[in-house]
Structure 1
Amino acid sequence: MSASLREEMELIEKHEEILGERAELLEQMESRREQLKLQRKQQVKEGEAARRRNATLLQDLQKIEDCLRGRQLPPPTILALETKYWASVEESIPAWEHFLQGKGPHPTDGPGQPSRRAKQQLKTHKETTKKTTNDQGLPPRPKPRTAR
Protein backbone atom coordinates (compact mmCIF):
# COMPACT_ATOMS: atom_id res chain seq x y z
CA MET A 1 0.00 0.00 0.00
CA SER A 2 2.78 2.35 0.64
CA ALA A 3 3.89 2.07 -3.01
CA SER A 4 0.44 2.99 -4.25
CA LEU A 5 0.26 5.84 -1.75
CA ARG A 6 3.62 7.17 -2.97
CA GLU A 7 2.47 6.92 -6.61
CA GLU A 8 -0.75 8.68 -5.75
CA MET A 9 1.19 11.52 -4.05
CA GLU A 10 3.45 11.85 -7.10
CA LEU A 11 0.43 11.99 -9.37
CA ILE A 12 -1.19 14.65 -7.18
CA GLU A 13 2.04 16.72 -7.32
CA LYS A 14 2.23 16.37 -11.10
CA HIS A 15 -1.44 17.33 -11.36
CA GLU A 16 -0.84 20.47 -9.27
CA GLU A 17 2.23 21.30 -11.33
CA ILE A 18 0.24 20.94 -14.55
CA LEU A 19 -2.56 23.11 -13.13
CA GLY A 20 0.02 25.79 -12.21
CA GLU A 21 1.51 25.74 -15.72
CA ARG A 22 -2.00 25.92 -17.17
CA ALA A 23 -2.83 28.96 -15.04
CA GLU A 24 0.44 30.65 -16.18
CA LEU A 25 -0.33 29.94 -19.82
CA LEU A 26 -3.87 31.28 -19.42
CA GLU A 27 -2.48 34.51 -17.92
CA GLN A 28 0.02 34.84 -20.77
CA MET A 29 -2.71 34.25 -23.33
CA GLU A 30 -4.92 36.87 -21.67
CA SER A 31 -2.14 39.49 -21.64
CA ARG A 32 -1.30 38.71 -25.27
CA ARG A 33 -4.97 39.11 -26.20
CA GLU A 34 -5.03 42.53 -24.50
CA GLN A 35 -1.89 43.55 -26.39
CA LEU A 36 -3.46 42.51 -29.68
CA LYS A 37 -6.61 44.48 -28.86
CA LEU A 38 -4.52 47.59 -28.22
CA GLN A 39 -2.58 47.05 -31.46
CA ARG A 40 -5.81 46.70 -33.42
CA LYS A 41 -7.22 49.89 -31.89
CA GLN A 42 -4.02 51.74 -32.77
CA GLN A 43 -4.11 50.38 -36.33
CA VAL A 44 -7.74 51.45 -36.70
CA LYS A 45 -6.85 54.97 -35.51
CA GLU A 46 -3.87 55.15 -37.89
CA GLY A 47 -6.02 53.84 -40.76
CA GLU A 48 -8.68 56.47 -40.14
CA ALA A 49 -6.04 59.21 -40.00
CA ALA A 50 -4.55 57.94 -43.27
CA ARG A 51 -8.00 57.88 -44.93
CA ARG A 52 -8.67 61.48 -43.83
CA ARG A 53 -5.22 62.58 -45.03
CA ASN A 54 -5.70 60.83 -48.39
CA ALA A 55 -9.15 62.38 -48.81
CA THR A 56 -7.68 65.83 -48.13
CA LEU A 57 -4.87 65.22 -50.62
CA LEU A 58 -7.34 64.07 -53.26
CA GLN A 59 -9.44 67.19 -52.72
CA ASP A 60 -6.35 69.38 -53.04
CA LEU A 61 -5.35 67.61 -56.25
CA GLN A 62 -8.84 68.05 -57.63
CA LYS A 63 -8.66 71.79 -56.90
CA ILE A 64 -5.29 72.04 -58.62
CA GLU A 65 -6.59 70.15 -61.66
CA ASP A 66 -9.59 72.48 -61.85
CA CYS A 67 -7.30 75.52 -61.69
CA LEU A 68 -5.06 74.11 -64.41
CA ARG A 69 -8.02 73.34 -66.66
CA GLY A 70 -9.19 76.92 -66.29
CA ARG A 71 -5.87 78.34 -67.51
CA GLN A 72 -5.40 79.22 -71.12
CA LEU A 73 -2.53 77.80 -73.11
CA PRO A 74 0.19 80.19 -74.28
CA PRO A 75 -0.14 81.52 -77.82
CA PRO A 76 0.78 79.11 -80.63
CA THR A 77 3.86 81.17 -81.56
CA ILE A 78 5.31 80.72 -78.10
CA LEU A 79 4.51 77.00 -78.16
CA ALA A 80 6.27 76.71 -81.54
CA LEU A 81 9.34 78.57 -80.21
CA GLU A 82 9.43 76.35 -77.16
CA THR A 83 9.23 73.23 -79.32
CA LYS A 84 12.05 74.47 -81.57
CA TYR A 85 14.17 75.35 -78.54
CA TRP A 86 13.87 71.87 -77.02
CA ALA A 87 14.54 70.26 -80.40
CA SER A 88 17.77 72.27 -80.72
CA VAL A 89 18.76 71.34 -77.18
CA GLU A 90 18.25 67.66 -77.96
CA GLU A 91 20.32 68.00 -81.15
CA SER A 92 23.24 69.60 -79.31
CA ILE A 93 23.35 67.10 -76.45
CA PRO A 94 25.82 64.69 -78.16
CA ALA A 95 28.34 67.49 -78.86
CA TRP A 96 28.17 68.74 -75.29
CA GLU A 97 28.50 65.20 -73.91
CA HIS A 98 31.60 64.73 -76.05
CA PHE A 99 33.08 68.01 -74.75
CA LEU A 100 32.17 67.39 -71.11
CA GLN A 101 33.77 63.97 -71.20
CA GLY A 102 36.98 65.66 -72.38
CA LYS A 103 36.93 63.93 -75.76
CA GLY A 104 36.36 66.90 -78.04
CA PRO A 105 36.47 70.67 -78.56
CA HIS A 106 33.99 73.13 -77.09
CA PRO A 107 30.78 72.92 -79.14
CA THR A 108 30.77 76.64 -79.98
CA ASP A 109 34.35 76.65 -81.35
CA GLY A 110 34.48 76.70 -85.14
CA PRO A 111 36.95 74.64 -87.18
CA GLY A 112 39.34 77.61 -87.77
CA GLN A 113 39.09 79.07 -84.26
CA PRO A 114 41.36 78.16 -81.38
CA SER A 115 39.60 76.40 -78.55
CA ARG A 116 38.37 78.35 -75.54
CA ARG A 117 40.99 76.67 -73.38
CA ALA A 118 43.75 77.81 -75.75
CA LYS A 119 42.28 81.35 -75.76
CA GLN A 120 42.30 81.40 -71.96
CA GLN A 121 45.90 80.14 -71.80
CA LEU A 122 47.00 82.79 -74.32
CA LYS A 123 45.24 85.52 -72.32
CA THR A 124 46.84 84.48 -69.02
CA HIS A 125 50.25 84.23 -70.72
CA LYS A 126 49.89 87.78 -72.08
CA GLU A 127 48.86 89.09 -68.64
CA THR A 128 51.81 87.47 -66.88
CA THR A 129 54.33 88.72 -69.45
CA LYS A 130 52.82 92.22 -69.28
CA LYS A 131 53.19 92.25 -65.49
CA THR A 132 56.80 91.09 -65.57
CA THR A 133 57.83 93.67 -68.21
CA ASN A 134 56.14 96.55 -66.33
CA ASP A 135 57.32 95.63 -62.85
CA GLN A 136 61.05 95.17 -63.45
CA GLY A 137 61.32 94.28 -59.75
CA LEU A 138 60.63 97.83 -58.50
CA PRO A 139 58.31 98.62 -55.58
CA PRO A 140 55.07 100.43 -56.37
CA ARG A 141 55.19 104.22 -56.58
CA PRO A 142 53.65 106.18 -53.73
CA LYS A 143 50.37 107.90 -54.38
CA PRO A 144 50.53 111.67 -54.74
CA ARG A 145 49.28 113.58 -51.72
CA THR A 146 46.84 116.42 -51.98
CA ALA A 147 47.61 119.74 -50.33
CA ARG A 148 45.60 120.69 -47.29
Structure 2
Amino acid sequence: MASYTHEEFELSQKQEDILGKRALLLQQMEAHYEQQKVKKKQQRLMSQAAKERNAQILKDLQNAEKNLQTRQLLHPDIINLETHYWASVERKLPEWEQYLLGKGQQPVSETGRLLRQQKLKTRQQDPSPAQCKGKPPRPKPR
Protein backbone atom coordinates (compact mmCIF):
# COMPACT_ATOMS: atom_id res chain seq x y z
CA MET A 1 0.00 0.00 0.00
CA ALA A 2 2.81 2.29 0.73
CA SER A 3 4.00 1.92 -2.80
CA TYR A 4 0.60 3.02 -4.06
CA THR A 5 0.66 6.18 -1.99
CA HIS A 6 4.16 6.96 -3.24
CA GLU A 7 3.04 6.37 -6.86
CA GLU A 8 -0.11 8.39 -6.28
CA PHE A 9 2.03 11.19 -4.85
CA GLU A 10 4.31 11.14 -7.93
CA LEU A 11 1.33 11.08 -10.26
CA SER A 12 -0.22 13.92 -8.33
CA GLN A 13 3.04 15.91 -8.71
CA LYS A 14 3.13 15.21 -12.47
CA GLN A 15 -0.48 16.25 -12.78
CA GLU A 16 0.24 19.51 -10.96
CA ASP A 17 3.25 20.13 -13.23
CA ILE A 18 1.14 19.44 -16.29
CA LEU A 19 -1.67 21.67 -15.02
CA GLY A 20 0.89 24.43 -14.27
CA LYS A 21 2.35 24.18 -17.79
CA ARG A 22 -1.16 24.17 -19.22
CA ALA A 23 -2.07 27.31 -17.29
CA LEU A 24 1.15 28.99 -18.44
CA LEU A 25 0.46 28.05 -22.07
CA LEU A 26 -3.12 29.32 -21.77
CA GLN A 27 -1.83 32.66 -20.45
CA GLN A 28 0.68 32.89 -23.29
CA MET A 29 -2.01 32.06 -25.84
CA GLU A 30 -4.34 34.70 -24.38
CA ALA A 31 -1.56 37.30 -24.45
CA HIS A 32 -0.74 36.38 -28.04
CA TYR A 33 -4.44 36.57 -28.97
CA GLU A 34 -4.71 40.04 -27.40
CA GLN A 35 -1.60 41.18 -29.28
CA GLN A 36 -3.09 39.95 -32.53
CA LYS A 37 -6.36 41.74 -31.80
CA VAL A 38 -4.46 45.00 -31.18
CA LYS A 39 -2.40 44.46 -34.34
CA LYS A 40 -5.55 43.81 -36.41
CA LYS A 41 -7.17 46.95 -35.02
CA GLN A 42 -4.09 49.01 -35.94
CA GLN A 43 -4.05 47.51 -39.43
CA ARG A 44 -7.75 48.29 -39.83
CA LEU A 45 -7.16 51.90 -38.77
CA MET A 46 -4.16 52.22 -41.09
CA SER A 47 -6.14 50.70 -43.94
CA GLN A 48 -8.99 53.13 -43.37
CA ALA A 49 -6.57 56.07 -43.29
CA ALA A 50 -4.95 54.85 -46.52
CA LYS A 51 -8.37 54.56 -48.18
CA GLU A 52 -9.21 58.11 -47.14
CA ARG A 53 -5.85 59.39 -48.44
CA ASN A 54 -6.34 57.56 -51.73
CA ALA A 55 -9.84 58.97 -52.08
CA GLN A 56 -8.51 62.49 -51.45
CA ILE A 57 -5.69 62.00 -53.98
CA LEU A 58 -8.16 60.70 -56.54
CA LYS A 59 -10.41 63.69 -55.92
CA ASP A 60 -7.44 66.07 -56.31
CA LEU A 61 -6.42 64.40 -59.56
CA GLN A 62 -9.94 64.64 -60.92
CA ASN A 63 -10.05 68.34 -60.01
CA ALA A 64 -6.67 68.91 -61.69
CA GLU A 65 -7.87 67.09 -64.80
CA LYS A 66 -11.05 69.17 -64.87
CA ASN A 67 -9.00 72.37 -64.48
CA LEU A 68 -6.73 71.36 -67.34
CA GLN A 69 -9.71 70.61 -69.56
CA THR A 70 -11.39 73.94 -68.82
CA ARG A 71 -8.17 76.00 -69.12
CA GLN A 72 -8.48 78.99 -71.42
CA LEU A 73 -6.94 78.64 -74.83
CA LEU A 74 -4.12 80.90 -75.93
CA HIS A 75 -4.75 83.91 -78.13
CA PRO A 76 -4.78 83.00 -81.84
CA ASP A 77 -1.82 85.32 -82.52
CA ILE A 78 0.28 83.48 -79.95
CA ILE A 79 -0.72 80.12 -81.40
CA ASN A 80 0.19 81.42 -84.87
CA LEU A 81 3.60 82.64 -83.65
CA GLU A 82 4.25 79.31 -81.95
CA THR A 83 3.33 77.41 -85.11
CA HIS A 84 5.64 79.57 -87.24
CA TYR A 85 8.45 79.16 -84.69
CA TRP A 86 8.27 75.38 -84.74
CA ALA A 87 8.00 75.32 -88.54
CA SER A 88 11.17 77.45 -88.68
CA VAL A 89 12.92 75.10 -86.28
CA GLU A 90 11.95 72.10 -88.42
CA ARG A 91 13.23 73.85 -91.59
CA LYS A 92 16.58 74.72 -90.00
CA LEU A 93 17.10 71.42 -88.18
CA PRO A 94 18.95 69.66 -91.04
CA GLU A 95 21.49 72.52 -91.16
CA TRP A 96 22.06 72.44 -87.40
CA GLU A 97 21.85 68.67 -86.85
CA GLN A 98 25.57 67.91 -87.25
CA TYR A 99 26.53 70.83 -84.99
CA LEU A 100 24.02 69.79 -82.32
CA LEU A 101 25.36 66.24 -82.41
CA GLY A 102 28.89 67.62 -81.91
CA LYS A 103 30.12 66.41 -85.30
CA GLY A 104 30.41 69.66 -87.24
CA GLN A 105 30.72 73.42 -87.13
CA GLN A 106 27.99 75.87 -86.37
CA PRO A 107 26.15 76.84 -89.55
CA VAL A 108 26.16 80.55 -90.24
CA SER A 109 23.80 82.28 -92.64
CA GLU A 110 25.01 85.03 -94.98
CA THR A 111 23.44 87.75 -92.83
CA GLY A 112 25.16 86.27 -89.77
CA ARG A 113 28.55 86.46 -91.51
CA LEU A 114 27.97 90.07 -92.49
CA LEU A 115 26.99 91.00 -88.94
CA ARG A 116 30.13 89.33 -87.54
CA GLN A 117 32.36 91.12 -90.02
CA GLN A 118 30.78 94.47 -89.11
CA LYS A 119 31.28 93.78 -85.40
CA LEU A 120 34.94 92.89 -85.98
CA LYS A 121 35.53 96.10 -87.95
CA THR A 122 33.95 98.29 -85.27
CA ARG A 123 36.03 96.60 -82.57
CA GLN A 124 39.23 97.15 -84.51
CA GLN A 125 38.43 100.82 -85.15
CA ASP A 126 37.11 101.82 -81.74
CA PRO A 127 38.39 99.68 -78.88
CA SER A 128 35.98 99.47 -75.98
CA PRO A 129 37.07 100.50 -72.45
CA ALA A 130 37.21 96.83 -71.47
CA GLN A 131 39.85 96.25 -74.15
CA CYS A 132 42.00 99.23 -73.08
CA LYS A 133 44.79 98.43 -70.69
CA GLY A 134 45.79 100.86 -67.98
CA LYS A 135 44.19 102.93 -65.32
CA PRO A 136 40.93 104.82 -65.75
CA PRO A 137 41.14 108.63 -65.86
CA ARG A 138 41.04 110.53 -62.58
CA PRO A 139 37.92 112.51 -61.76
CA LYS A 140 38.22 116.26 -62.09
CA PRO A 141 38.24 118.21 -58.81
CA ARG A 142 35.32 120.54 -58.22
**TM-score, normalized by length of structure 1?**
0.57
1:66 positional shift: 1.6
Report how far residue 9 of structure 1 moved: 1.2
Match for residue 116 of structure 2?
A: none
Q: Number of paired residues?
A: 120
Q: 5+ residue gaps in structure 1?
A: 114-122
Deviations 1:78-131 (A, max 9, x none): 354133123135432332222xxxx54333399xx9xxxxxxxxx9xxx9xxx9
Question: Whole-Å Cα distance in 1 between the matches of residues 56 and 41 of structure 2?
Answer: 23
1:35–1:89 Cα change, 3 Å: farther
TM-score, scaled relative to structure 2 = 0.59
2:92 is aligned with 1:74: no
Partner of 2:47: 43
Deviation at 1:14, TM superposition (A): 1.8
| Distance change in 2, residues 1:83/1:3 (3 Å) | same
Q: Is the 8 A contact 2:99 2:107 kept in 1?
A: yes
Q: Structure 1 14/56 Cα, relative in aligned 2: closer, same or farther at 3 Å?
A: same
Gaps of 5+ in 2: 114-122
1:27 aligns with 2:11: no
Q: Structure 1 vs Structure 2: percent identity of aligned residues?
A: 11
Residue of structure 2 equivalent to 1:88:
91
1:65: Cα distance to partner? Answer: 0.5
- The 2-side partners of 1:26 and 1:32 are apart by 10
CA-atom RMSD in angstroms: 3.9
